[in-house]
């Protein structure tokens, strides 16, 4: 009887451990990159990034530019993401700032095209056929972003 109970305990613990490992999670990183305040949320499962949502806010006064100059700055980013399936890119130009919104669904995006458009540095985060959470977090930290703490984190 003790062996059966021990076996059941092992099975239950294994199931709980496997379920916890395969749960989708989200981590958010924040920092300043090239004069933009950037907030990036990564939804991932194990080491695979499933979705990325980035908001970049550029205050014109901080860089000594105006709205038309900000449009020139964002033109390059727009070309990078334009026409890529699985990517939504939009910039809202306000009176004092521009707000850039980038949504990437890695289940739908052509990872090879995305790598090509983003350049070599971002290509390092791609592992086999998916984007590696571990590698992309390493890049975000290298670029000065820090993990944002969550008050209601379930982990």
Instruction: Identify whether the C-beta of residue 114 lies closer than 8 Å to the C-beta of residue 2.
Output: no
**pLDDT tens digits along 69-128:** 999 988 988 988 888 999 999 999 999 999 999 999 999 998 888 878 776 455 455 555
Average pLDDT over residues 19-48: 89
Instruction: Identify whether the C-beta of residue 108 lies closer than 8 Å to the C-beta of residue 97.
Output: no
Of 14-28, 41-55, 125-139, where does mean pLDDT reach its minimum? 14-28
Helix axes 111-118, 67-81, angle to 10 degrees: 140
Residue 74 is inside which H or E element, if any? helix 67-81
State pTM to two decimals: 0.75
**Token pair listed for 80:** 């990078």
Instruction: Identify whether the C-beta of residue 145 lies closer than 8 Å to the C-beta of residue 30.
Output: yes
CATH for 20-147, options being 3.40.50.620, 3.30.360.10, 3.30.230.70, 3.30.1830.10: 3.30.1830.10
């Amino acid at each position: 009887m003790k062996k059966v109970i021990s076996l059941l305990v092992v099975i239950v613990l294994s199931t709980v451990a496997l379920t916890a490992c395969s749960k989708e999670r989200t981590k958010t990183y924040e920092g300043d990159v090239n004069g933009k305040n950037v907030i990036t949320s990564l939804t991932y499962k194990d080491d695979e990034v499933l979705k990325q949502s980035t908001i970049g806010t550029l205050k014109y006064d901080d860089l000594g530019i105006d709205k038309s100059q900000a449009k020139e700055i964002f033109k390059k980013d727009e070309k990078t993401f334009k026409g890529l399936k699985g990517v939504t890119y939009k910039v809202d130009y306000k009176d004092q700032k521009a707000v850039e919104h980038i949504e990437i669904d890695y289940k739908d995006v052509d990872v090879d095209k995305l790598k090509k458009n983003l350049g070599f540095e971002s290509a390092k985060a791609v592992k086999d056929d998916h984007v590696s959470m571990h590698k992309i977090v390493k890049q975000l930290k290298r670029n000065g972003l820090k993990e944002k703490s969550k008050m209601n984190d379930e982990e």
